[in-house]
Amino acid sequence: MKLNLVDKHQSTINTAVSALHSRAFFAHFPENPSPDVYGEHADKEGRERYKALLHNKFEELLQQDPEQWVGQEESPYEQQALGVQYPYFAPEVLVARAEEAYHQWRKLKPADRAALLVESLERLRARFFEIAYATMHTTGQAYMMSFQASGPHAADRALEAVAAGYEEQTRFPESVEWEKPMGKYNLKLNKTWKAVPKGVALVIGCATFPTWNTVPGMFASLVTGNPVIVKPHPKAVLPIAIVVAEVQKVLQENGLNPNICQLAVDADERLIAKELAENPSVKLIDYTGGSEFGNYIERLPGKVTFTEKTGVNSIILDSMDDLDKVAQNLAFSVTLYSGQMCTAPQNFFIPEGGVKAGGGTVPYEQVVQKISEAVTALVNNPKAGPHILGAIQNPATTGRVQEAASLKGKQVLGTGDFTHPVFANARTCTPVIYEVDASEKESYSRELFGPIVLVIKTKDTNQSIAIAKELAQQYGAISCGAYTTDPAVKEQIMDEMGLAGTPVSFNLTGGIYVNQNASFSDFHVTGGNPAGNASFTNPEFVIKRFTWVGFREPAAR
């Protein structure tokens, strides 16, 4: 490398590795967008840089000779095209370039690759605000969520993958003189080992979290020596395009082929995800999105896949100290980003006899009413509601909310559009709540992506647990929330949902929500149920991207 990046970043990498082991709070990139942290003019400058990208070609990528320039993005806040165009390349061209770059990249030591990637993340720090506005106007996330999720939180998840990959590749010595006593003499061998990458990697992104869900697989493959082709959702390209551009710049500055990391976009007349995925030279695939396409990815022969698909997330209500605080917490969880999160709760299981709270029993009907009132209060709060709900990324989501009326259930809370205080033309809708009988499993056994809550009346908490477990095992779940003051019930929920490969958040109130996952501490998706076959970032997330190969020969006498 031309620059001594290992000395510059090794301390950061070592600290990140230590954080992986401790699982305590660690954030290398501050999530607070205040001027004290990022500079007095960072927000204004980031907004101006974002605006300068609109209705122009995105020419930062170091990928030469595109066939054409394409772009399909539209702002959910303005419902107008962004007009950003990206260079389009045929799948076979992208793969050929990745294969050519592969041999240069794989021969670098893990420490060098890790340092190069950390350098790119540090460069991104200066573009967090620009990425935030790009995320807002492609996904519909509110500003604060866009900044945190696509900026510092995504960068920390990427750093986490780099740290995990670095550790696994340096876990064993590079070489050793192996000596075995044989009586009158010792047998001596020189042994060396190499972590050999699998080959070309493909990362297929989603429309709602274009960086947070993309960078873990992207950086995990890169740190383990695999060239990466990043194929974002056609409606959410700009945030991850900025990330890819920064990686490419660092590569080129250090005398490396920028095609080690490429952006791949769909043309209007040619969707390329399947062509890329089926290419025999593509060995690794990371995918985030719907289960139908995810199942197809998992079935492809000769591929190592890492998927996050759809799930049916549950809330189990048994007992609590303060029902009002619980209702407020749950209202925020279902309202945050209008429920467009893979961790958002959908099914609320409440016993027909009510729940224990405050030394007494609160009837079922009152529990439902409390939750509905909390959602209504939050939605109608002009200072909080619009900034929590954001906008709806896909028109199909608003249609899904309207179609919820066809469920076999009773409407508790209907939806309504609200006028955003800044963007009058924003695509919006508020959460709906329906009561569904426990016998109507067809209604609640699939993910209804968006701000849709189903309340299921059960015989008792035992049935609530049993159904939540069954749904997770059969259809997948990425999160689960539970409220109980009974240690035996808590242990039962931990045991049953653990068998279903589903993490559980107990008794959350205040400023922490079931939707949230912390880098370096929480494993996102377990890989233990149909919601996905991978978990970032556990060791398997990186060790399946390379193979240990040993070499040995007699030691010189």
Identify whether residues 321 and 303 lie together within a single domain: no
Residue pair 329/513 in contact (Cβ under 8 Å)? The answer is: yes
Give the model's pLDDT for residue 2: 55
Residue pair 279/91 in contact (Cβ under 8 Å)? The answer is: yes
Average pLDDT, the chain: 96
Identify whether residues 327 and 215 lie together within a single domain: no
| Phi/psi-derived region of residue 361, left when phi > 0, alpha when psi is between -120 and 50, beta in every other case | beta
Give the containing element (helix H, strand E) for 477: none
In-domain check, residue 26: no
In-domain check, residue 521: no
Tens of pLDDT along 386-396?
Answer: 999 999 999 99
Identify whether residues 57 and 156 lie together within a single domain: yes
* DSSP β-ladder status, 68-70 and 86-88: antiparallel
Identify whether residues 111 and 157 lie together within a single domain: yes
In-domain check, residue 30: no
Tens of pLDDT along 435-446?
Answer: 999 999 989 999
Identify whether residues 318 and 305 lie together within a single domain: no
Structure tokens at 224: 């383990």
In-domain check, residue 110: yes
Say yes or no to pLDDT of 556 above 90.
Answer: no
CB atoms within 10 A of CB 112: 16
Confidence of residue 408 (pLDDT cuts 50, 70, 90): confident
Identify whether residues 194 and 335 lie together within a single domain: no
CA distance 399 to 415: 11
Query: Average pLDDT, stretch 302-313?
Result: 96
Confidence of residue 405 (pLDDT cuts 50, 70, 90): confident
Query: Average pLDDT, stretch 290-310?
Result: 97
- CATH code of the domain covering residue 501: 3.40.309.10
Strand partners, 195: 548
In-domain check, residue 530: no
Query: Average pLDDT, stretch 302-324?
Result: 97
Residue pair 26/14 in contact (Cβ under 8 Å)? The answer is: no
User: Which residue, among 97, 123, 109, has the nearest Cα to 1 in the 3D structure?
Assistant: 109
Confidence of residue 419 (pLDDT cuts 50, 70, 90): confident
Tens of pLDDT along 6-26?
Answer: 999 999 999 999 999 999 999
Host domain of residue 387: 314-506
In-domain check, residue 337: yes
In-domain check, residue 28: no
Give the model's pLDDT for residue 1: 56
- CATH code of the domain covering residue 217: 3.40.605.10
Identify whether residues 389 and 472 lie together within a single domain: yes
Give the model's pLDDT for residue 418: 80
Structure tokens at 311: 């799930």
Query: Average pLDDT, stretch 55-73?
Result: 97
Identify whether residues 263 and 236 lie together within a single domain: yes
Give the model's pLDDT for residue 38: 94
Say yes or no to pLDDT of 3 above 80.
Answer: no
Tens of pLDDT along 95-134?
Answer: 999 999 999 999 999 999 999 999 999 999 999 999 999 9
Please write down the HEC assignment for all residues of 484-546. Answer: CCCHHHHHHHHHHHHHCCCCCEECCCCCCCCCCCCCCCCCECCCCECCECCCECCHHHHHCCE
Identify whether residues 204 and 349 lie together within a single domain: no
Identify whether residues 329 and 214 lie together within a single domain: no
Query: Average pLDDT, stretch 36-51?
Result: 95
Say yes or no to pLDDT of 530 above 80.
Answer: yes
Identify whether residues 152 and 270 lie together within a single domain: yes
Number of domains comprising the chain: 2
CA torsion angle 79 84 89 95 (round to 10): -80
In-domain check, residue 527: no
CA distance 228 to 161: 14
Identify whether residues 180 and 150 lie together within a single domain: yes
| Phi/psi-derived region of residue 452, left when phi > 0, alpha when psi is between -120 and 50, beta in every other case | beta
Tens of pLDDT along 83-92?
Answer: 999 999 999 9
Confidence of residue 156 (pLDDT cuts 50, 70, 90): very high
Tens of pLDDT along 258-285?
Answer: 999 999 999 988 999 999 999 999 999 9
